Amino acid sequence: MIITYQGLQFIKIQQGDLTIAINPISKTSKHKSSRFGADIALCSLNHIDMNGVDMVAHGDRNPFIISGPGEYEVGGIFVKGFASPSHYDGGEKINTIYSFIIDGINICFLGAHDGANLSTEVKEAIDGVDVLFVPIGGDGVLNAVEASKLAVKMEVKIVIPVHYGEVGDKDALKIFLKESDAEGTKGIDKLILKKKDLEGKDGEVVVLEAQS
């Protein structure tokens, strides 16, 4: 599995011939986006910063779009979506937290979640998370301190922060790394991950450099 960060909350996951795009940035957003073909597109929030599915339809690839709570099956990939609160860009909104397994690796994407705690239903449904994508910027989503505490509670193996830099608290990454006892962590262009690589990991923070 290859994971790259496209900025804001935009994540690209590749496993063999399968490409998944999570929260692609719309071309109408003020934030820079990138274009590629995806087989599946997940959108946590109906907002131009996270619903740019047109950016991941390219050539003969038109993604299957998942944009809300529910259970889905696409090409052997089972995706579960759970409603959670968000106040991104003002006002109360419904965010979707996604959970799915690829190549035996359990992935959870919190999207624009802004609650310090998860509901009992969600915690039970996504138990045993290997890789957690967590927003850290605040301003309508989790802030760095809340994000770090939630990651610890979830007892995940790898934590990947998103939603920082151009949005929210400009010091979010610095604060998050300090709270996570991961100061000095250097950013990488991509994360290449196999199930065996998770052995012995306990809350390891991986910082991905935005590629867009």
Q: Does domain 2-205 have CATH number 3.60.15.10?
A: yes
pLDDT score at 125: 84
pLDDT in tens, 67-97: 999 999 998 999 999 999 999 999 999 999 9
pLDDT score at 67: 97
Confidence of residue 146 (pLDDT cuts 50, 70, 90): very high
Res 144 pLDDT > 80: yes
Confidence of residue 127 (pLDDT cuts 50, 70, 90): confident
Res 116 pLDDT > 80: no
pLDDT score at 26: 96
Mean pLDDT, the chain, as a whole number? 95
Give DSSP secondary structure letters for the chain: -EEEE-STT-EEEEETTEEEEESPPPTTSSS-------SEEE-SSSSTTT--GGGG-BTTB-PEEE-SSEEEEETTEEEEEEEEEE-TTSS-EEEEEEEEEETTEEEEE-TT---SS--HHHHHHT-S-SEEEEE-B-SSS-BHHHHHHHHHHHT-SEEEEES-SSSS-TTHHHHHHHHTT-TTPPPBS-EE--GGGGTT-SSEE-PBPB--
Res 212 pLDDT > 90: no
Average pLDDT over residues 121-129: 87
- pTM of this prediction exceeds 0.75: yes
pLDDT in tens, 163-210: 998 899 999 999 999 999 999 999 999 999 999 999 999 999 999 999
pLDDT in tens, 42-72: 999 999 999 999 999 988 889 999 999 999 9
pLDDT score at 49: 97
Domain boundaries, the chain: 2-205
Confidence of residue 149 (pLDDT cuts 50, 70, 90): very high
pLDDT score at 8: 96
